[in-house]
Structure 1
Amino acid sequence: MRLVTSPVQRIVGQVFIPVRDMSSAIEWYADLLGFDPGTSSHGGTIFDVPTDGETRLALDANRPDFDVSGPPRFFLWTQDIAATVRHLEGLGTKITSDVEDIGSVFFVQFEDPDGNPLMVCQRR
């Protein structure tokens, strides 16, 4: 067994979600996650989404030519996947998968208005 040491901690500090229209992205994420929309910082290019826990989430409009291809880069937790799907449908969200059961979690995938792939999981 190889013992590796590193000065880099295995702690995620912040996840950045690229967006094109900051004000509409703030409104959509506020509706999705249930917070009062605020104002962006850094000349209107960054918005810190209120989160629970240590990992932070930011909307980032610094590179509007981003590519959304690929799988979700992270997931959010829920305690009720059925209520989550109803909430997503109520927001008119593009849901890109059925609710899937992979044994340890149920999950559903969807897209934000910019086409970013997102996912919500419920522990079994």
Structure 2
Amino acid sequence: MSVISRKAGAIFIPVSDIAKARDWYCSLLGLEPTFEIIAGHLCCIPMDNNGLNLVLDSKIFNEESTYRNPAFHFNADDIQEAYQFMKQRGIELVTAIENGHWFNFKDPDGNLLMICKC
């Protein structure tokens, strides 16, 4: 047994404008954008009841820091419904639904992200 947990605690995403990013991600996830902005550059958005957080950080942002490959994916029960949801919101879709299970999209800062059928 290790003193290091096998549980991820946070996923960091570099963003250019912390308040706009908080609002965008909260809107995407159906949350009220009431999460505190810490030290002027961080915002932690809880993703589950097990302590996993999405940490938006404007201090680490630069053009080279954005994700060029998805570092993680959001789960969706219905991939077709998720795709249509993103399309209706005008979010930049990078791929169609691939193999009936996933698609990629970009956030406003150009980070490449994924939604996958769970």
Q: TM-score range by the shorter chain?
A: 0.7 to 0.9
Larger Rg computed on CA atoms: 1
Aligned-pair CA distance for 1:6: 4.7
Give, as a single letter, the amino acid of the residue that structure 1 aligns with 2:97: V
Q: Does 1:59 align with 2:60?
A: no
Aligned-pair CA distance for 1:52: 1.7
Q: Which of 73, 76, 95 is the aligned partner of 1:75?
A: 73
Identity among equivalent pairs (%): 31
TM-score, normalising length: structure 2: 0.87
Give, as a single letter, the amino acid of the residue that structure 2 aligns with 1:27: D
Give, as a single letter, the amino acid of the residue that structure 2 aligns with 1:116: N
Aligned-pair CA distance for 1:88: 0.7
Tell me if the contact between 1:100 and 1:107 (Cα under 8 Å) persists in the aligned partners. yes
TM-score, normalising length: structure 1: 0.83
Aligned length: 116
Counterpart CA distance in 1 for 2:25 and 2:97 is 21
Unaligned runs of 5+ in 2: none
Query: CA-atom RMSD, angstroms?
Result: 1.8
Q: Does 1:31 align with 2:27?
A: yes
